[in-house]
Amino acid sequence: MKLTAEQRIQRAHVSLMQSKRFCLFSGVFMVGKVTVDEEINTAYTNGRDVTYGRGFVDSLNDKQLAFLIVHEAMHKAYRHMTVWQALAKEDQHLTNVAMDFVINLEIQDADPYGEDVSMPRDQDGELMGCLDERFRGMDTKQVYDILKKEGKGGKPRKGTGKGKESNGGTTSEGGGNGHDQGQNEESSECLDEHDWDNAREMTQEEKEELSREIDSALREGSILAGKMKGNIPRGIGDLLHPKVDWKEAMREFIKVSTRGGDQSTWRKPNRRYLANGIIMPSAESHKAKTIVIGTDASGSIEGELLNAFLSEVVSVANDVNPECIELLYWDSHVASRETYRDSEVANIIHSTKPKGGGGTQPECVPKFMVDEAIDAQCTVMLTDGYFYGGCGDWSKTNAPVLWCVIGNKDFVPTVGKCVLVE
């Protein structure tokens, strides 16, 4: 019995989720709606939803269809339809081509021998889609600038599409979806179409929600890829581990987590408004309560690195003025608990006595916090991220978690936020 296009797409999703090369995109496949349309020549996405042309799906074998599905998922993962809108406004067709050059090389690098996916070919055996080795390691803007300099912008090549030219790209007649319809010649034209119009119509709130959903999907996928010993493309790795100043990230995390100390009170009228006969509440300041600092004591974090970290903790404490800092040294269990209150916080660096050195099991920290009834407003974990098992069950601590990870770009926590310490 011949499967429908919908059934083949669903089967390809399941197969790719089980592939160590592409399981990273398991969650991304599920973002947005997936539909099949009789009128579409190839496939397109607006960055959230994906539509496949029924005839095109029927023309592809299973590995070629899998390639197309990964291609659309990577458009979503890289937020192409949001990030490059200004570039597309300048030259829509050239932006489409540049995006596809980047994606197709990464797919080919992930599966060079075509075990899971294979780039589609036309009836003459020619590759369908943009592929050029000279663009390896580049992003869309870099490819775009090279193509523009070579004078390849403006109009798409003529192909089997039904679109009409518009502003250097194409829009579909009647439908108004703004899909470029240029087809593929000599591996330099797009494999798919791109729904710029619907991408532009998303509200800022929708874009932000989509970005959060994709980020979450990629982080879940990266955990699965880690378990299956799969590779994560450099570009996706950069998305999961953006380059940020860990000191600023920790400072912002603690400030936001302990915010709310200033409350309004009617017991003391605001003097600024009294002269105008207006009674308004004044602000009443309250100190932050408890901050937990969990330090990996398995042997990889010590000396200058530990001192630098604790120095930053003291600096942040001067800003938020916590009532208490609980410093926990942990390995396979919490080996030491040091409690600092008020003015004692300034002496952490000179007073602390790290203990530990056994295995590395961070799940001992939330368990200890619950057992010892430590009511924290936030927890900061300092670790190299190399340990067996999971990150632990933090649900009962009722405190947000920030993981400050030493040099381990592959670490992705199952709970909380992560910042790379270099």
Query: What share of the chain in percent tops pLDDT 90?
Result: 48
Angle at 395 between CA 291 and CA 371, to 5 degrees: 65
Q: What is the pLDDT of residues 226-272, one digit of tens each?
A: 888 877 777 777 666 666 677 888 888 898 888 754 455 555 666 65
**Alpha-carbon dihedral sign for residues 60, 127, 135, 178:** negative
* Intra-chain end-to-end CA distance of the chain, in Å: 56
The structure tokens 């937990």 sit at: 292
Q: How far apart are CA 355 and CA 335, in angstroms?
A: 6
pLDDT given for residue 117 in this prediction? 96
Instruction: Provide the pLDDT confidence category of residue 356 given band limits of 50, 70 and 90.
Output: confident
DSSP type of residue 358: S
Query: Residue for token digits 């009647």?
Result: 174
Question: Higher pLDDT residue, 209 or 156?
Answer: 209
Q: Does residue 421 or residue 135 have the better pLDDT?
A: 135
Mean pLDDT across 378-395: 87
161: pLDDT strictly greater than 50: no
How confident is the model at residue 180, as a pLDDT?
43
Give the pLDDT score at 420: 84
For residue range 290-312, list pLDDT tens digits in order: 999 999 987 666 667 788 888 88
Confidence band for 274, pLDDT divided at 50, 70 and 90: low
pLDDT of residue 162 exceeding 70: no
Per-chain mean pLDDT for the chain: 83
In whole angstroms, what is the distance from residue 131 CA to residue 134 CA?
A: 9
Long-range contacts of 262-269 (CB under 8 A, 24+ apart): 262/286
pTM, entire model: 0.59
CA distance 319 to 288: 10
pLDDT value at residue 196: 95
Q: How far apart are CA 110 and CA 113, in angstroms?
A: 9
77-118 per-position pLDDT tens digit: 999 999 999 999 999 999 999 999 999 999 999 999 999 999
**Structurally, what CATH architecture does the domain formed by 246-421 represent?**
3-Layer(aba) Sandwich (3.40)
SS3 134: helix
User: Where are the domain boundaries for CATH 3.40.50 in the chain?
Assistant: 246-421
